[in-house]
Structures are given as structure tokens and as C-alpha cells.
Amino acid sequence: MRWLIWKEFRLQRLVLAVGAVLLIAPYSIPIFSLLFNQPAQQVWRLASVMSLLLSIVTLALLGGNAIASERSDRSAEFLAYQPISRATIILHKLVLPLAALLVIWLPNTLIAGFTEGWHLKLLAAITVIQLAGFCALGVAWLVSCFQGSPTFAAASGIVAPFAVAGLVNLVIYLAGLPLVPAYAISFAIVAPIVGLTGFVGGTRYYVRRVEP
Amino acid sequence: MTWLLWKEYRLQRLILAVGALVLVMPYGFPVRALLIDSPGAGQTSLASFTSTILSIVILALLGGNAFAGERADRSAEFQAYQPIPRWAIVLSKLPLPLLTALIFWGMNLAIFSQCVETHFQAYPREWMIRFMVLGSCAFAVAWLVSVLQSSVTFAVGAGMAAPIVILPLVALTGWLISADLDQWTGNVWAFACLAVSVLSFTIGTWHYLQRVEP
């Protein structure tokens, strides 16, 4: 089924190009610090955290574009007539976003860890950003499965981590809990649940849906 | 013209709904602080700062969806057959993004100025202005890419990436002329983004006026 992966690459190649720019551009800051002979250790950490933050946009664009864009360019109907099961199609659609997750998360985490040291505060910050990215990807994926506008799907993905953060904040307030320890922990629990629910719900819906 | 505006509203309504959410959401924290004890000026100014940064995303979405969205849903061809001049179509596409920018920036700047004047100095006012310029750059580049092709996602992505791509170019120029990096980058980044936004918007509009759909 290599052609399905090739088709996905062709569908997402422009988004992947944008993602590559968003991944690399923040590292221009430490590189210029090196050129100016300034201490660059803290700037490397800043660059990796910035790159991780920008990856939320990349992941939302990838998730939002995955299925809705095939409806908008009318290739979804063509694909539906091919002798391939919908489960196979969606499994191949998962390859690119998951590969992107790995390519974005791994180097950024390693760079932040090796330049700043593996202390708990840094790991917690990185984990929260990564979970926000996963949540964005899952929600964009879900909305992309449901309708034909990749823009709205991507926008929903981008806004999802903020909406989760707001709701967690509200629940903590209503429960009367102290904000500081409860907030990060609750977000770290709720964000991946929302992301995973988006993935599972969207995939299940896609497998059952009759195009368009 | 009214129906063109209505069509634009229908095309962009989902993004506008997301925008409304993004505008209001960061203020959840200061509202919470207000309900519990006292409103922290720090939290309020941070909220207006965050809301302004998020406006970059919304403006890129609006710019990217403006033309490519119509090509993707095939309404561009239908519209091209109507007896409407293309300048009228372009003009009808402007009020919504302008209104969105005005609401986002007006509200956030008003709240931010209030906070800075009373207690809080951590987030300099010029950075608010710079983020507004970055927002207009994201919108204009997304607008240009949206005019040139039909992938909304790419247009939006290009718009969002534009200010981030300009930053290293500005820093490189600063390095080449041996300028003070911090000062140079802070000032020139915003000017470069402003120049790119004017250029992108002009080229995009000009190309759309000349183009024959699809």
C-alpha cells in the first residue's frame, strides 16, 4: 500500500513544508547568538520550547488537512470507489501525523534536555506543550472526519488546547481547588484524553461513513 | 454589494466563531482571579497579550480562506460568471478581516493600556504593537498565497510561518552589518513584516484582479 502513503505525502506536502519551517526557524536565534559570540545555552532551550509551541500549529494543520481536504478537492469520492477498505485508508493517513510527532518532539526534547539539564520543571513544561500538540492533532482530526472544510478543522485543532485549558481552569475554580498544583496536573490528564477521544471518535466515524 | 458581504460572512463564519472563542478565552484567568480574590493586573495584561498573539492565527485563517476557500468549494467559478467586477469582489472580502482586527486589537490594546498605566510593566507596550504588525503580515501573506492557489491549509500555514521566516532574515542582516542584535531585531523585524504585508497585499490584490478563474 505504498501508493496510499505517497498520496498522503502529496496531499500534505505543503503543510509539511510549513511544518519544517516552523520546526527549524526558532533555531536561528541560538545560531545567531553563536555568531555574535554570546552565551547560547539558555537560548537553545528557548528555541526548542518555541519550536515545540509552533508545532501545535503544524499538528493542527496536518490533522485538519488529512481528511477534509480530500473532500474539498473531490478526491474522496474517487478514493471511495477504489477496492480498498476504509480502515486501510485511515491507517495510512495516520502515518504522516505520527511521523511528524516523532520528528518534532524527539529532537526538541533532546536539545532542551542536553543544553539545560534534565530537571523536573523543564520536563513538565515540555510534556504540557507536547500534550497540547497531541490534543490539537486529535481535535483537528475529528473535525476533519466530520466535515469538508480543512480550514475550520485546523482552526478547531489550534483552539482546542486553549479551550481545554479554559475549561480546566473553570472546573478547578468551581471545585474550589488551589490553582497552582491542580492546574498543570489536570491539564496533563484532560488534554491527552481529549486528543485520544478525537482520534478514536474521528477514526470510528470515518470507517463507517459513506462518502461524500 | 450586500449579498457579497453576506456570502463572505457565510464563507468565514466558522473561523469567526473560532476567533470569538480565541478573543475571549485568555480572559478566563483574570475573571477567575476577580471571582476569587482581587483582579491581578499581571493576569489581565498577560491575557490581552495572549489574545493579541492568538489574533495572528485568526487573521492568517481569514486571509488564507478568502480566495482559496472559494476555489476549494467551487463557488469561485460560479462567481466568475456573475456580472460583478472583480474589484467589487475584492472589496467585499475586506470588511470582515478589518473588523476582526479592529475588535481584537482595539479591545486588547485598551485593556492592556489600562493595566500598564495602573500596575504592570512586564510586557512592554511596543511588543503589543509589534504583534499587531506580525498579525497583519500573517494576514497579507495568507491573502497572497490564497490568491495564487487553491489549498486553504497551505495559504494559512504560509501566513502563520511568514513572520517566523522573516525573523532569521532580519537577524542575518543585522549580523552582516554588525548591529546590536537585540535592538536591531526588535525594531527591524516589525518594519520588515510591515513592508512584507504591504507588498503581499498589493501583489495579491493585483493578481486577483488580473486573473481569470479558475
- B72/A63: higher pLDDT: A63
- Nearest Cα residue in chain B from A38: B181
- B62/A44: higher pLDDT: B62
Best of B134, B153, B176, B184 to mutate (most A CBs within 10 Å, chain A): B153
Tell which residue, B175, B177, B185, B46, has the closest CA to residue B121: B46
Q: pLDDT tens digits for A197-207?
A: 999 999 999 99
CA distance A43 to chain B (A): 13
Residue B116 clears pLDDT 60, i.e. is over it: no
Kindly determine whether residue B153 and residue A22, on different chains, have CB atoms separated by under 8 Å.
no
Residue B20 clears pLDDT 80, i.e. is over it: yes
- B177/B140: higher pLDDT: B140
Could you give the ipTM of this predicted complex?
Answer: 0.79
pLDDT for B37: 60
* Cβ pairs A/B, distance under 8 A: 114
Kindly determine whether residue A149 and residue B14, on different chains, have CB atoms separated by under 8 Å.
yes
B154 and chain A in contact, CB less than 8 A:
yes
Q: pLDDT tens digits for A86-132?
A: 999 999 999 999 999 999 999 988 888 888 777 888 888 889 999 99
Q: For residue B27, give Cα distances in angstroms to A137, A152, A163, A208, A212.
A: 24, 23, 12, 40, 39
Q: What is the spatial distance between Cα B80 and Cα A61, in angstroms, rounded to a whole number?
A: 29
Section B109-118 average pLDDT: 73
B16 and chain A in contact, CB less than 8 A:
no
Torsion of CA A126, A127, A130, A134, to 10 degrees: -170
B60 and chain A in contact, CB less than 8 A:
no
Query: Residue A37 — left, alpha, or beta (φ > 0 → left; ψ -120 to 50 → alpha)?
Result: left
Pick B15's closest partner by Cβ from A57, A148, A155. Answer: A155
Q: Calculate what percentage of chain B has a pLDDT beyond 70.
A: 90
Q: pLDDT tens digits for A15-70?
A: 899 899 889 888 887 777 777 666 666 778 888 888 999 899 999 999 999 999 88
Residue A176 clears pLDDT 80, i.e. is over it: no
A154 and chain B in contact, CB less than 8 A:
yes
Kindly determine whether residue B15 and residue A26, on different chains, have CB atoms separated by under 8 Å.
no
A144 and chain B in contact, CB less than 8 A:
no
Residue B38 clears pLDDT 80, i.e. is over it: no
